[in-house]
């Protein structure tokens, strides 16, 4: 497929107004996307678990307008007008306009809310952009007869990617690959696809407890961070490593080798942060408590023999990943020893989910 497959033929149906709601989850990458080319094409492939509890719920109300000169929209978060969200959505609309020619024909009211606390330091761009892309696809579906579910999901992921790269991995679950890589058939830079091979029972219902170490605004946005991979001295090796790690994950997922999984996932998280520390300008997003947590996890893993591991996004919060059948002991350990490192004792218990849902 190419991007041209997402430019629609002239619409056959016409609608005056309507309303559509989607809820879409966040996701947590195991192999990280860090570095991109023009048009949100990733420099390397990535893979993520789709989450279940951390999601954005977006209602899009649309009304046909007189002139189709400009985009017209208003945005609300938790019922309050959010004009500071507008530039990001304006840019998103500009990027996707040629794939959704109806965008200038309607006025849109975008009402959105998150299930996770606002400014928890959890990125809402993946869930937020995917929810909006899905709402827009629901409109297009009414304008064209006979759109297949497969195409709907592919195009929703394709559009979400143009809003925020990692958002393309939030449409479906439970394990999503984005970025062309030889070891994964059907993988593409254009949109996220379901991981197509066998997944051992050990990875079903995998748990993710998110420790909120620092809820403040990120000191460096992901977009700036991605750009620092241009001319980064270790970039080419890093990109190759991501391909290799995806290939290594295949036998791990098939055999259920949790020890190998733990090593690969933690190495990916630390490599992501190593890229930030070795870029120019350089920066550190981990906080002292992030390191305290990592050290405690390592000690507990050694003492207990349980398969607890961590991963990190571009921030200080820690995602603790573990298999469902070890959940009782691990959660006890988290509450006993790790919650003290969270800001105001806040953490979120999540697990693998199966993707976005339309709400009627």
Residue 273 binding ligand DP6, by CB under 6 A: no
* Peptide bond connecting 275 to the previous residue in cis, omega within 30 degrees of 0: no
Residues 213 and 341 sit within 8 Å (Cβ to Cβ): yes
Residue 80 Cβ vs ligand DP6, minimum distance, rounded to whole Å? 23
Residue 314 binding ligand DP6, by CB under 6 A: yes
Q: Which residue has the tokens 């300008």?
A: 281
CA dist., res. 322 & res. 5, Å (int): 39
User: Considering only CA atoms, which of 105, 243, 99, 117 is closest in space to residue 163?
Assistant: 99
Nearer to ligand DP6, 110 or 168 (CB): 168
Residue 268 binding ligand DP6, by CB under 6 A: no
Residue 32 Cβ vs ligand DP6, minimum distance, rounded to whole Å? 4
Residue 222 binding ligand DP6, by CB under 6 A: yes
Residue 278 binding ligand DP6, by CB under 6 A: no
Residues 202 and 323 sit within 8 Å (Cβ to Cβ): yes
Nearer to ligand DP6, 102 or 261 (CB): 261
Residue 227 Cβ vs ligand DP6, minimum distance, rounded to whole Å? 9
Residue 259 Cβ vs ligand DP6, minimum distance, rounded to whole Å? 23
User: Considering only CA atoms, which of 346, 35, 31, 82 is closest in space to residue 215?
Assistant: 346
Which of 223, 244, 255, 304 touches ligand DP6 by CB under 6 A?
223
Give, as ranges, the residues between 226 and 245 that touch ligand DP6 (CB under 6 A). Answer: 226
Q: Which residue has the tokens 């051992």?
A: 200
CA 32 to chain centre: 10
Window of 70-78, 158-166, 235-243, 346-354 that interacts with ligand DP6 by CB under 6 A: 158-166
| Residue 63: both structure tokens together | 């009304």
Residue 29 binding ligand DP6, by CB under 6 A: yes
CA dist., res. 313 & res. 221, Å (int): 12
CA 73 to chain centre: 24
The CA–CA distances, whole Å, from 165 to 82, 131, 154, 303, 344 equal: 23, 14, 14, 38, 31
CA 345 to chain centre: 25
Which of 128, 165, 173, 355 touches ligand DP6 by CB under 6 A?
165
Nearer to ligand DP6, 14 or 90 (CB): 90
Residue 295 binding ligand DP6, by CB under 6 A: no
Which of 26, 127, 153, 166 touches ligand DP6 by CB under 6 A?
166
Residue 318 binding ligand DP6, by CB under 6 A: no
Residue with the CB atom nearest ligand DP6 in the bound state: 165
Give, as ranges, the residues between 90 and 129 that touch ligand DP6 (CB under 6 A). Answer: 123, 125
Give, as ranges, the residues between 33 and 72 that touch ligand DP6 (CB under 6 A). Answer: 33-34, 40, 46
Window of 5-13, 163-171, 240-248, 345-353 that interacts with ligand DP6 by CB under 6 A: 163-171
Residue 222 Cβ vs ligand DP6, minimum distance, rounded to whole Å? 4
Question: Residue ranges of the alpha helices (H) in the chain?
Answer: 86-96, 125-143, 149-163, 222-227, 235-255, 258-277, 288-304, 327-333
Counted residue by residue, the chain has a size of 360
Residues 168 and 178 sit within 8 Å (Cβ to Cβ): yes
Residue 179 Cβ vs ligand DP6, minimum distance, rounded to whole Å? 10
Q: Which residue has the tokens 């559009």?
A: 159
Nearer to ligand DP6, 34 or 102 (CB): 34
Q: Which residues contribute to the site for ligand DP6 (CB under 6 A)?
A: 29, 32-34, 40, 46, 123, 125, 164-166, 222-223, 226, 272, 313-314
């Amino acid at each position: 497929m190419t991007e041209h497959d997402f430019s629609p033929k002239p619409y056959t149906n016409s609608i005056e107004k309507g309303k559509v709601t989607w809820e879409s989850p966040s996701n947590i990458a195991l192999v990280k996307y860090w570095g991109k080319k023009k048009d949100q094409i990733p420099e390397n492939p990535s893979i993520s678990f789709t989450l279940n509890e951390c999601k954005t719920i977006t209602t899009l109300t649309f009304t046909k307008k007189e002139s189709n000169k400009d985009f017209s929209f208003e945005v609300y978060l938790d019922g309050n007008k959010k004009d500071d969200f507008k530039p990001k959505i304006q840019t998103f609309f500009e990027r996707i306009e040629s794939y959704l020619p109806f965008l200038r024909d309607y006025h849109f009211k975008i009402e959105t809310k998150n299930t996770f606390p606002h400014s928890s330091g959890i990125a809402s761009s993946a869930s937020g952009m995917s929810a909006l892309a899905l709402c827009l696809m629901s409109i297009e579906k009414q304008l064209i007869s006979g759109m297949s579910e497969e195409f709907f999901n592919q195009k929703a992921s394709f559009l979400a990617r143009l809003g925020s790269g990692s958002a393309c991995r939030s449409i479906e679950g439970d394990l999503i690959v984005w970025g062309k890589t030889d070891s994964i058939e059907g993988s593409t830079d254009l949109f996220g696809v379901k991981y197509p091979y066998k997944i051992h029972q050990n990875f079903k219902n995998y748990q993710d407890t998110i420790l909120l170490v620092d809820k403040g605004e990120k000191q460096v946005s992901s977009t700036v961070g991605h750009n620092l991979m241009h001319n980064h001295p270790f970039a080419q090796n890093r990109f190759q490593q991501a391909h290799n790690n995806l290939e290594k994950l295949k036998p791990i997922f098939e055999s259920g080798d949790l020890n190998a999984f733990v090593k690969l996932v933690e190495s990916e998280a630390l490599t992501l942060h190593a890229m930030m520390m070795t870029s120019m300008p350089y920066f550190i997003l981990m906080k002292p408590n992030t390191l305290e947590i990592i050290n405690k996890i390592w000690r507990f893993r050694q003492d207990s023999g349980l398969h607890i591991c961590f991963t990190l996004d571009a921030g200080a919060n820690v995602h603790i990943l573990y298999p469902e059948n070890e959940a009782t002991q691990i959660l006890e350990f988290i509450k006993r020893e790790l919650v003290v490192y969270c800001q105001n004792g806040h953490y979120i218990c999540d697990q693998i989910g199966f993707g976005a849902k339309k709400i009627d």
